[in-house]
Structure 1
């Protein structure tokens, strides 16, 4: 499976309550369960009016279908080709 970084524009995202985030999570989980293919939502980050998600699946079309079924905007969905951090300097 590939890992995808997904950008979603959600006006007011930073003001979403814990209950609203829980509802979004429940909806996403239901969609994932109904896709009928290997799909894992790893985690998401809220920053300003954006939500950035990391999902694993076989292709970008499945990411887009998840967005369509769940009513989640998908501004961008790109495969992650490398991960690095401060420790990379030591290798």
Structure 2
């Protein structure tokens, strides 16, 4: 599967209570289960008014379908081509 970063505009998400985040994650997980093995949520980074979600997916279309069914927007989807980190400098 391919790796994607999904930018979701969610006003005030950064100040959401733990319970609200738990409920959002449960909703996302239920939708992922419906969609099957062609999409997987890896993790999300929460900013003030956005989340940046890392997904493994067959293609962008299934990410859009997840957004539609779950009600969480997928404002920008970017495919990750490569990953680098500090050790890249010494390779």
TM-score bracket for the superposition, by shorter chain length: over 0.9
Between the aligned partners of 1:57 and 1:51, the Cα distance in structure 2 is 18
Q: Report the alpha carbon displacement of residue 22 of structure 1 after superposing the two structures with TM.
A: 0.4
Runs of 4+ in 1 over 4 A off after TM superposition: none
Between the aligned partners of 2:7 and 2:24, the Cα distance in structure 1 is 15
Structure 1 unmatched ranges of 5 or more: none
- RMSD, matched Cα: 0.8
Residue equivalent to 1:76:
76
Structure 2 unmatched ranges of 5 or more: none
Between the aligned partners of 1:80 and 1:20, the Cα distance in structure 2 is 29
TM-score normalised according to structure 2 size = 0.96
Q: Secondary structure at the match of 1:11?
A: coil
Aligned length: 91
Residue equivalent to 1:30:
30
Between the aligned partners of 1:36 and 1:87, the Cα distance in structure 2 is 35
TM-score normalised according to structure 1 size = 0.96
Between the aligned partners of 2:19 and 2:49, the Cα distance in structure 1 is 18
Q: Report the alpha carbon displacement of residue 59 of structure 1 after superposing the two structures with TM.
A: 0.3
